Structure 1
Amino acid sequence: MQDALAALTDAVRSTQADQILIVTGAGVSHASGIPTFRGSDPDAIWKRDVTELGTHAFFCEDPAGSWQWYLSRFENLEGKKPNPGHHAIAALERFQIERGGEFLLITQNIDTLHEQAGSQRMIKVHGTSDRYRCSRVDCELGAPAGSIAASEVDLAAFRANPVEANVPRCPSCGSFLRMHVLWFDETYAGHHDYHWRRVGFAAQVQAQLVIFAGTSFSVGVTDLVTKLALRRRVPVFNIDPTPRVHERGIMSIAAGAEVALVEVCKRLGVADAAGWA
């Protein structure tokens, strides 16, 4: 692992005038106490719940069931704080920008831990837990561009009695509100907030170093970024305690981001205001 860490540190150091692209998955937040989706940890969400629950079709069939299921998932996010991996990513962003380079973080996670850690140049390609949106397309609060802060939506009635009559309604048109997340039967181009074109441009043109962290490589965004980066022969690193991709051109580091990226920051002399502990 030490050789791989040295190679990653050298790659970051040499990408001064170019873009560093980091793609994170659920594994990055595991050290903060949030269960992964497809991981091997006992609380992995998709080991207990079938993927058809996270679909537009299920929402249409049972809006109250969809809301109840997602709110139970979101309870896992309450009170969680960024771990050293989140802070290291934010520190690398500041380091790269301060020396005149470019940086982009693409996260599959819907939690807000990257934001809490200070990440700014970020795309939440699967949506976010702190916003909802109208289920009616073309409503000002719905796709393709609208949403509403979760803090502005009163969930008291639904929590007290989670039936369809109490499903939160859009304040603009009266339709049901829905989670502002990418469902399994939807496309990345379905909402502007997913910034799918920007993702493709970064992978195909801009990025000169790609770092994956905590991802199972099971979704479209990882497939796209991997193929485009390898086609351009861009250095690609995969940070994960149990790497699940063994493709030529990808150097794996068998450790969590909270270990590997903190070590890279230390080797680069990059400080973190929040501390690494």
Structure 2
Amino acid sequence: MDLAAARTALQTAHRVAVLTGAGISAESGIPTFRDAQTGHWARFRPEDLASPQAYAADPELVWAWYAGRYRDVLAAQPNAGHHLLAELERQKGAGFFLATQNVDGLHARAGSGSQGGTLVELHGNLGLARDEVTGEVCPLPSPAELTLPPRSSAGHRMRPHIVWFGEFLPEDALNAAGQAFAEAEVALIIGTSSLVYPAAGLAFETRQAGGQVIEVNPERTELTPYANFSLRETASRGLALLMGVD
């Protein structure tokens, strides 16, 4: 498959499933999890900041870390790649499914999930918190109004609505993604290393069902040998080429 064939496959497909990783948000200035561990936070291991054990030991420390990341993502803006995926959803309607490994909320802010298709945030969202007692998920107030640790309307402490090390992805979200990729005529895998399972296995659901897998990533990944076409571009540039808006 070459670029022209990949573009045709995407344009003519009625069912498109997309998986995005950190690469699509890099152009918005969002650092990866480990890249965000600078300054004061550089002395901590990821497990010290993003695990149930870390939260149980020091919830104030964990919340201080997440409050900073929450503030940073709110200051960022969706880039052309986010907007192009929202446009692709408008074109495909109910046949469009987007699963993201990112927790920055930029896809939703660009309009994904509100154009007739489906958006699933597999790893959670930095702008949400979950009641530790009831499980209710609530949006956080603005950073200026945020007190740590936040409390729910019922007065219970809330934890970040993020999938931490040692936790499973939400079963309903993962099942929905698996079904969407198995039914997709075209799967787009954008800006992800394809190393973190089970999300990394979604492309193979499409391949096994006879669909086409198109990868967009500046670097070769573990998925590259199995993709029908790999485009060595940034997310925004690759999507522009595939959608014919370059």
Q: TM-score range by the shorter chain?
A: 0.7 to 0.9
The answer for the alignment partner of 2:129 in structure 1 is: 132
Alignment of 1:58-207 (within 5 A): 58-97=54-93, 102-120=95-113, 121-136=118-133, 139=134, 142=135, 146-151=136-141, 156-158=146-148, 167-172=149-154, 174-189=155-170, 195-204=173-182, 206-207=183-184
**Which segments of 5 or more consecutive residues in structure 2 lack a partner in the other structure?**
none
Counterparts of 2:232 and 2:140, CA distance in 1:
37
Q: List, as ranges, runs of 4+ consecutive aligned residues in structure 1 with deviation greater than 3 Å.
A: 43-49, 152-158
8 A contact 1:153–1:168 mirrored in 2: no
State the shift of 1:170 in Å.
Answer: 2.9
Counterparts of 1:199 and 1:215, CA distance in 2:
16
Q: 1:4 and 1:79, CA in 2 relative to 1: closer, same or farther beyond 3 A?
A: farther
Counterparts of 2:71 and 2:146, CA distance in 1:
15
2:26 maps to 1:30: yes
Q: 1:72 and 1:154, CA in 2 relative to 1: closer, same or farther beyond 3 A?
A: closer
8 A contact 2:192–2:217 mirrored in 1: yes
Equivalent of residue 252 in structure 1, options 216, 221, 230: 230
Task: Find the residue that maps to 1:217 and give its secondary structure.
Answer: coil
State the shift of 1:156 in Å.
Answer: 4.9
Task: Find the residue that maps to 1:188 and give its secondary structure.
Answer: coil
Counterparts of 1:157 and 1:12, CA distance in 2:
46
Counterparts of 2:74 and 2:227, CA distance in 1:
38
8 A contact 1:24–1:106 mirrored in 2: yes
State the shift of 1:189 in Å.
Answer: 3.0
State the shift of 1:77 in Å.
Answer: 0.9
- TM-score if structure 1 supplies the norm length? 0.77
State the shift of 1:215 in Å.
Answer: 0.8
Task: Find the residue that maps to 1:247 and give its secondary structure.
Answer: helix
Q: Between Structure 1 and Structure 2, whose CA radius of gyration is higher?
A: 1
Q: 1:67 and 1:151, CA in 2 relative to 1: closer, same or farther beyond 3 A?
A: same
**Which segments of 5 or more consecutive residues in structure 1 lack a partner in the other structure?**
159-166, 268-275
Counterpart residue identity of residue 51, structure 1? P
8 A contact 2:67–2:143 mirrored in 1: no
**RMSD over equivalenced CA pairs, Å:** 2.5
Counterpart residue identity of residue 150, structure 2? P
Task: Find the residue that maps to 2:185 and give its secondary structure.
Answer: strand
The answer for the alignment partner of 2:50 in structure 1 is: 54
Q: Deviations over 1:117-163 (max 9, x none)?
A: 11122111111122111123xx1xx1xxx2011128985543xxxxx
The answer for the alignment partner of 1:272 in structure 2 is: none
